[in-house]
Amino acid sequence: MSFEHGLNPGDTITNEELRELFECSPQGGMRRSHQTNTLVIVSDHTKAIYEDRWIDDTFHYTGMGLEGDQSLDFAQNKTLAESEGSGIEIFLFEVFERGNYTFIGKVELAGSPYQEDQLDKNENLRKVWVFPLKTAAGEAHFPLPESTLLKKQKRKEREARRLSNEELEKRAAFSKKGVGVRETSSRAFERNTYYSEHLID
């Protein structure tokens, strides 16, 4: 039986409302709730630790672990990796402004998790696990307002200007190459992956 959360894609709630609704932890990017049999995934774009990004209609989400190489057997990384057929429902929220959690919808794995190089919170290179996610079957796809992405881009550009040349070059060296695309309510919003991963996401 599907969990009745009462939210529509695009709804914005507070962290406390999220915690009460899903009966999960108020912290972390992957919040498991045994009470509601759900896994809430939060991608907080106001923080620059992870390189979460949309490519077309697939969301590439970085797993748990702030320092060192990540493990696929660790905590909720394992829960998400083994979610297919487990009965656990996965719900995605994105944070574009501090304290505002935008409900994207119910999601599921779009493919197998894969590894890539990212910098950890200490700016050290490490291996992370990335989970490709897509809107769950039968669920409405939510195109973000273009204005939301433009605001996010401007904020990340301001953050980038505060980095030293050495920090900026280090981040650029490990950014994924290519073009990221995120559907918006008005058009496909394209941006180069350097800004998508380091300045936008």
pTM of the model: 0.78
CA distance 141 to 154: 25
CATH of 12-142, one of 2.30.280.10, 2.30.30.90, 3.40.1380.20, 3.40.50.300: 2.30.280.10
pLDDT digits (tens, 9 = 90+) for 95-147: 999 999 999 999 999 999 999 999 998 889 999 999 999 999 888 777 766 76
The span from the CA of 30 to the CA of 75, in Å, is 9
Please report, to the nearest 10 degrees, the dihedral formed by the alpha carbons of residues 92, 94, 95, 100 taken in order: -60
Pairing of strands 89-97, 38-44: parallel
The residues spanned by each domain of the chain are 12-142
pLDDT digits (tens, 9 = 90+) for 60-96: 999 999 999 999 999 999 999 999 999 999 999 999 9
- Answer for the pair 38, 88: CB distance below 8 angstroms, yes or no: yes
